[in-house]
A and B are shown apart, each in its own frame.
Chain A
């Protein structure tokens, strides 16, 4: 088979994995070697779907023995099958990297003979890159559930980031849609990775020469909308993964119906808005000090389509507002719709010099369109505003006539 054709099949099969991050690792290049990594990550292109391309995202093989209902590569699907040799992936990575197309490699694979057989082949690609090609760029390896601890360890030593996909938000759904995958086989490597990464940090504190284990940490991804879980269930799961498993990122992938299967819902389009809202809520968990239970409740277990989750929270908590921007703490500022992490830090830096005025808020970059209903500047409200929740909802939704309403734009977060 021609290399062109293999790339078509094996990148087409890999595109449903949402992760593209190349951040979190800071490796200097070795003399005579090729490549280094950049702490903040670098995007090299943006595909026709608007998502960033940072890594050569590819499957080693799409020849799968599993028959997961949601997956484009399931064994009963009539798609053409292909496999790369290790050398082919190594050469592609090096050729692309030398031309500055990519930050590195994201390698995943379908499972054919056994999890260990596939995992071993994937680890070998990474080891050839590191040892023979002296490649210092970014490597993200997918961990195949059920692979042996020894292979997971080797993967962590060769890669910057490793990830085990949790696939679906509950074990019931996993059992129904991916009966050959077991919850334990997913959680066991996750725990192992967390423990190994922690141990490596301790060792490196003693000696700079101790090997790094997955310096960019681990991430995971789940499919949204292929199974009946509520957003609250999903956010609770993510919250647990962040706090107990120490994950760097949880990715949400809107279900794209690629197979017809009577266990799957019939959708006219992938639930992109829901995915977008989940990412916003995920940001609130990680950077804004919110808990899943503050964002959603058992009475209202799904995210609002019309409002971002922070605005929705603010509308439910009129007693918290207005916030006085010249006195409020960082944590309080972060709760104001329209004020993000950057603007909250800037407000605190700027008010050391002089009280921040509404004009100053705009200079700082606060989204006043939303924030103006929730703040005062030195005791003065930004403008005469009706704080009745129902009226406020309406104004936020329709604008106050002074500006055109922005169309909904769905943005997949790139870095982090």
Chain B
């Protein structure tokens, strides 16, 4: 088993995978991990080369567009320790093309596709669970702390849906933000965040929604366990209907 190391950046990861595949190494025999800079660390360090990473992406896009899609979701999950699985997955994608995602009985494919699916699920979930609040100046703000870094696709979803209003989305976990001004979408980070004041009618509308939320449940069918399995408590922090619980 040959040990390889990279610098821990997403680009370094793809670049390292490109080097290993180009070297003719058998990916099922190779092992890839982040360099820890420890004294007796073993393995060959692969220098990050963005042109290498770019070229690999381009070849994969030609050969297996679905795998590129999977890779994209996989990166959103920000998962640790799956570098070797990713190496083997990409090797299999070059071998089998888009059919690779069906090879779920292969441990590496299962790990990568499963992780990508987790990000996809959370993205879908956040499309429903995000809550915008109207600010004093008429713009809208939604706050969230998702496990996966779903900001980009999520903001694109809302740029098609709520296109007539100016809004911000803030990811409090990553301190990243998206801004839609009615025409264009931009992304950035926010070091300082203080919650702006809400518009005068915001509380009244929130109360109407809370009332609806309470009365739409059938009392004879009360089922808090089912509610929580569908809508885990980690999302309640920013849910208008779950404030004060």
Contact = CB atoms under 8 A, between A and B. Distances in A.
A153 interface: no
Given A98-B162, A346-B102, A349-B99, A16 B218 contact: yes
A326 B160 CA distance: 44
B83 interface: no
A140 to B, nearest CB: 15
B128 A270 contact: no
Contacts of B164: 32-34
Interface in B121-175: 124, 127-134, 140, 142, 158, 160-165
**Residue in A8, A14, A99, A410 whose Cβ sees the most chain B Cβ within 10 Å:** A99
Interface residues of A, number: 63
A7 B215 contact: yes
Interface string A34-74: 11101010111111111111101110000000000000000
A269 B219 CA distance: 11
Contacts of B110: 363
Contact of B205 (A99, A100, A256, A363): A99
A327 B99 CA distance: 19
Interface string B187-219: 000000000000000000101110111111111
A101 B240 contact: yes
A47 B220 CA distance: 13
Contact of A4 (B162, B211, B216, B218): B211
A28 interface: yes
A291 B28 CA distance: 47
Interface residues of B, number: 55
A49 B226 CA distance: 8
B208 A29 contact: no
A211 B26 CA distance: 57
Interface stretch (A184-192, A212-220, A352-360, A386-394): A352-360
B212 A99 contact: no
A47 B161 contact: no
A101 B211 contact: no
B161 A356 contact: no
14 contacts: A7-B211, A7-B212, A8-B215, A15-B217, A36-B160, A42-B128, A45-B231, A49-B217, A50-B230, A58-B212, A96-B209, A254-B221, A269-B220, A270-B221
Interface of A: 3-4, 7-8, 11-12, 14-16, 28-29, 31-36, 38, 40, 42-54, 56-58, 92, 95-96, 98-101, 254, 256, 269-270, 272, 346, 349-350, 352-354, 356-357, 359-360, 363-364, 409-411, 414
Interface of B: 96, 99, 101-107, 110, 124, 127-134, 140, 142, 158, 160-165, 205, 207-209, 211-227, 229-231, 239-241
